[in-house]
Structure 1
Amino acid sequence: MERKLYEASMSGDVTTLMELLEEDPVLLNRVTTSFEFENPLGIAAMCGHVEFAVRILRRKPELATQADQKGLRPLHLAAQGYNVSMVKVLIEENPDVCSLTDQNGRTPLHLAAMRDGTEIMKILIQKQPKAIQMLSEYRSETILHLCVKHNCLDALKLLVDELRKQHINKESIYLISEDNKESISVNSKDGDGNTILHLAVARRNIMMIKYLLNSDTGVEQNAINNKGFTAMDVLIKSDQRELKDMETQDILREAGVLQSDFIQQLVGSHHDDQKPHGRPKYEISETIQKYKFDAKYDAWLKENKNTLMVVSSLIATMAFQGALNPPGGVWQETKELPTVRPFSLTYPSPSPPPRPPNDASDIVYAGSAVMSHEHVYAYLAYMIFISLGFCASMSVILLLLSGFRFSRKLVGRFFVRLLIAVLWSAVTFMTIAYLHALQAFMPTRGWGLETHDYQNTEVVVSIISEVFAFALLGWIGLLGLIIFVHIIRSTLWLLVHIIPSTLWLRRKLRILKKRDGES
């Protein structure tokens, strides 16, 4: 009979269950007192058979609190799944089960959080809000630690919001658990002294680290564990190196997370002969703010250097290819060509020169550019501007690889902006070279025009030259607008930062001189 009941609970066969109970009314009583077979209600809860569980609870409600060999109740098993209806049925029968723990000290809420089951968590919290405060017996972990360990970001966000609601004083969520042992917080520590930030960094969970540092969670950025490590120490001093380490370190540095050695330098050494006094808190806060500013500056400098290197390399490659492979290609062999009227769309002559004799010829050499023979002036302008663009981009690459480091932020920012201006000129040179190359290849034949029809040809050339002139003026206007905007930004920055600092320094100097005079 017990074997049939076990098979019925696995399949959720309600008909078989009712037949078995009619044959043996005390079947469920024997199952309750026997250790040979598992709890049929727990099996049904694990498999999600809601109707089967309802029929059992009507006959034997005590099965809702019966634990298996691992200390798991039916609600524990249901909380690990995603069947919300099953959880509601079990809670309505006995809400006190929400506070019962398994052999590891975990409540159903803990298990639901480890599966990122936010809907089930909301139901459990509504029935038993104090279950959030219960600690797991394994390393005294809070439910927040379990969320981080099992990469459950949605569950962590839900719990942080719920902790805010439970605390009368909103700021009490930000207190460390040692100061408020009856209530957990985002700064609570496990048995090793690790906060949830320590665990997130140890697992290189980028999304969770960003949430803890960039949102209004109130996490203590420089908390120290039992080994004396901050979250930055956990990353840097880890034996395992991963691809995410650099990105994680940038995030921590930008948020102001420090190493423990640096913090000890701020607060003063505790091994002096005299009583440790340390620095005032406001000085430590100012130093940490300066550290954050330096981290943001380093990130800004690194990002701009990478961008400048990529753009300058691309421009240098284009210019190099354009110089070695000019538009129109090169002559493949040395030969003589009949001398024709040198025609250039860039600089049209006002009147056609006399045609040369038919027996005159020019010699073209293998490897020389075809464009240099057909369009001399356009070719010269093209090579000049493309060479300027190449030299400008190569100079940017050389300066970036020079390894200059600037201790002053103002000099470093000026250096980066100078390189940006050089790249502006390189882009402008490449644009002008493109226009000259395009002018040289505009067809004058194919529109019913012959080369000896100089009057019609010059009309077409004049129209094309005006179009390219307008394009060049438009480009120069856009460049001028960008320069004007940057001048305005620089002026405003000077007014906000440099001038007030100068006035403050002058005022300080006057006060010091006055004090010296009085003394």
Structure 2
Amino acid sequence: MSYADQENGSLSALYEVSLRGNVSELDTLIGRDPLILHKLSLTTFTETPLHISALLGHLDFTKSLLRHKPQLALELDHSKRTPLHLASAQGHVEIVHVLLQTYHEHACLMSDQDGRIPIHYAAMRGRTEIARQLIMAKPESLMVLDGSGKTVLHLCVEHNHLETLKTLVQVRDLSGNDFLNKTDLHHGNTILHFAVTLKQVETIRYLLSIPKIREEASIENKMGCTALDMLVDAVIMNNGMNQTHSLPSLNPNEKYWTKNFKLGKRFLQHQGERLEEMRGMLSVVATMISAMTFNAVMNPPGGVIQANGSDLRSWKNMLSNNVKDAMELHPGRAVFLTTQESDFESFVMFNSISLAASLSITLLLVSGVPLKNEVTMGILSIGTCVTLTFLMLSYFFGGFMLGFKSANHVFHFWIYLWLGLLGLIVVFSMIRVISWLVKVIKHG
């Protein structure tokens, strides 16, 4: 047998030993040929033995390979992945720890052919402890985008790994960081957009519990949609799906008006099971409306009088003819409360009613009260109508204060249209309630 054949045989044996993870056999091969690990670059194999060992979880074998040739930790396979990529994806915590002790500053930031670094795979597979180790070893790896322009947080949400997402936020203390609202490169979606699109109710609730995300929930993606827009669309779509009811068979002996009431009830009735499924999504919508109305008062349109002396003096000079208003000036007072008091008070009143109604809806939804009875549905319907009506009115008065009074005819048109829609809803609700009463009376 020629020397070349012997060398090829030894290298093939090395790869077979890697599959088994046998350390004693590895030591025997190295004893026969101390340079065997250095000859790997001369082979046609696309992976090194360390890639195989890291993929299969052979801890002792991995330690032995790194002891003899630590440079293997930076070798790439045919997909440009390091052993750390593979161990992170497979969830081998101890092997990741060993690899991080060798060249961790380089391996943590090495991208494969898909533009992903090891922490991207940990996020995609929900390897929470590994993600923690990678962040601690190289904090800046959190900021690296993958090949599709997504952050690590986007990948956590996209693959529905809430615990991993929470860990990353806590380890790096991101609760007040703008990185939480970073958009993906191609579509401009935040992680809240992702959660809404994928209907991950628990993730949405967690994200909205973070003030930084809640404050900037109005960020638009490249389609011009906010997360709230998409959430409302999702609720509407869910409301319109699975409505494959067939009309009931009517008893010819029943009175005509009873038949019609039953038909109306069957057509308009919301199925209890579907509403229970929608409970989480509706509570999120109500929570976001509450946040919007709260922020509208805490940060009023037109701003507030600043604390610096020059600003305060200029306002007092402007109101010198009105002693009462001049005496009431103080830093933090709303500008429009001074210049357009009547419109501002109406704005605050309507906004406050909308806030109270949305909080009431949220309380009803999270209380666990079943949504299958007509009383609960009636309260929920009234609360929703009140919330949206006064939210619209506060918007109109906000527009008046900002100088859009020239568009009065447009506002009046929308008010009349809205009142017409409310009228239809009232008629439908009355039909539903009357049909329910008919059933109660009939069955005594």
TM-score, shorter chain, exceeding 0.5:
yes
Task: Select the structure that is richer in helix.
Answer: 2
Is 1:296 aligned with 2:363? no
| Aligned-partner SS, 2:34 | coil
Choose which of 193, 197, 211 in structure 2 pairs with 1:198. Answer: 193
In 2, distance between residues paired with 1:402 and 1:252? 18
| Aligned-partner SS, 2:145 | coil
| Cα 1:280/1:104, change in 2 over 3 Å | farther
Q: What's the offset of the Cα at 1:129?
A: 1.1
Q: What's the offset of the Cα at 1:280?
A: 3.1
| Aligned-partner SS, 2:45 | coil
In 2, distance between residues paired with 1:148 and 1:203? 9
Is 1:189 aligned with 2:198? no
User: Partner letter of residue 190 of structure 1?
Assistant: D
In 1, distance between residues paired with 2:184 and 2:87? 27
Name the structure 2 match of 1:233: 229
TM-score of the superposed pair, with normalisation by structure 1 = 0.49
In 2, distance between residues paired with 1:211 and 1:195? 14
In 2, distance between residues paired with 1:398 and 1:93? 65
8 Å contact from structure 1 (residues 201, 234) kept in 2: yes
Is 1:46 aligned with 2:41? no
User: Partner letter of residue 283 of structure 2?
Assistant: I
Q: State which structure, 1 or 2, has the greater radius of gyration over its C-alpha atoms.
A: 1
| Cα 1:402/1:298, change in 2 over 3 Å | closer
Choose which of 62, 69, 78 in structure 2 pairs with 1:69. Answer: 78
Choose which of 59, 63, 74 in structure 1 pairs with 2:68. Answer: 59
8 Å contact from structure 2 (residues 22, 61) kept in 1: yes
Name the structure 2 match of 1:127: 137
User: Partner letter of residue 191 of structure 2?
Assistant: I
User: Partner letter of residue 284 of structure 2?
Assistant: L
Choose which of 227, 242, 255 in structure 1 pairs with 2:287. Answer: 255
8 Å contact from structure 1 (residues 256, 292) kept in 2: no
8 Å contact from structure 2 (residues 157, 194) kept in 1: yes
Name the structure 1 match of 2:421: none
In 1, distance between residues paired with 2:210 and 2:380? 36
Name the structure 2 match of 1:500: none
8 Å contact from structure 1 (residues 204, 245) kept in 2: no
| Cα 1:308/1:133, change in 2 over 3 Å | closer
8 Å contact from structure 1 (residues 42, 74) kept in 2: yes
| Cα 1:62/1:289, change in 2 over 3 Å | farther
User: Partner letter of residue 278 of structure 2?
Assistant: M
Q: What's the offset of the Cα at 1:279?
A: 4.8
Q: What's the offset of the Cα at 1:235?
A: 3.5
Superposed CA deviations along residues 451-479 of structure 1, whole A, max 9, x for unmatched, are xxxxxxxxxxxxxxxxxxxxxxxxxxxxx
Superposed CA deviations along residues 152-190 of structure 1, whole A, max 9, x for unmatched, are 11111111123327xxxx84x1x3xxxxxxxxx111100
In 1, distance between residues paired with 2:379 and 2:104? 70
8 Å contact from structure 1 (residues 187, 195) kept in 2: yes
| Aligned-partner SS, 2:80 | coil
In structure 2, stretches of 5+ residues that fail to align are 1-9, 242-273, 304-333, 335-343, 388-444
User: Partner letter of residue 210 of structure 1?
Assistant: R
| Cα 1:285/1:186, change in 2 over 3 Å | farther
| Cα 1:257/1:38, change in 2 over 3 Å | farther
8 Å contact from structure 1 (residues 98, 128) kept in 2: yes
8 Å contact from structure 1 (residues 105, 136) kept in 2: yes
In 2, distance between residues paired with 1:108 and 1:45? 13
In 2, distance between residues paired with 1:288 and 1:133? 39
In 2, distance between residues paired with 1:399 and 1:43? 60
In 1, distance between residues paired with 2:191 and 2:145? 14
| Aligned-partner SS, 1:228 | coil
Q: What's the offset of the Cα at 1:104?
A: 2.1
| Aligned-partner SS, 2:122 | helix
Is 1:112 aligned with 2:122? yes
Q: What's the offset of the Cα at 1:88?
A: 1.5
User: Partner letter of residue 222 of structure 1?
Assistant: S
Name the structure 2 match of 1:149: 158
Name the structure 2 match of 1:322: none
Superposed CA deviations along residues 64-84 of structure 1, whole A, max 9, x for unmatched, are 101111121001111123322
In 1, distance between residues paired with 2:376 and 2:163? 46
- Residues 427-506 of structure 1 correspond to what in structure 2 (within 5 A)? none
8 Å contact from structure 2 (residues 108, 138) kept in 1: yes
In 1, distance between residues paired with 2:376 and 2:53? 71
Q: What's the offset of the Cα at 1:42?
A: 0.9
Q: What's the offset of the Cα at 1:31?
A: 1.6
In 2, distance between residues paired with 1:400 and 1:90? 58
Q: What's the offset of the Cα at 1:23?
A: 2.8
Name the structure 2 match of 1:269: none
Name the structure 1 match of 2:438: none
TM-score of the superposed pair, with normalisation by structure 2 = 0.57
Identity of aligned residues (%): 31
8 Å contact from structure 2 (residues 184, 190) kept in 1: yes
User: Partner letter of residue 361 of structure 2?
Assistant: D
In structure 1, stretches of 5+ residues that fail to align are 176-184, 267-277, 311-396, 410-519
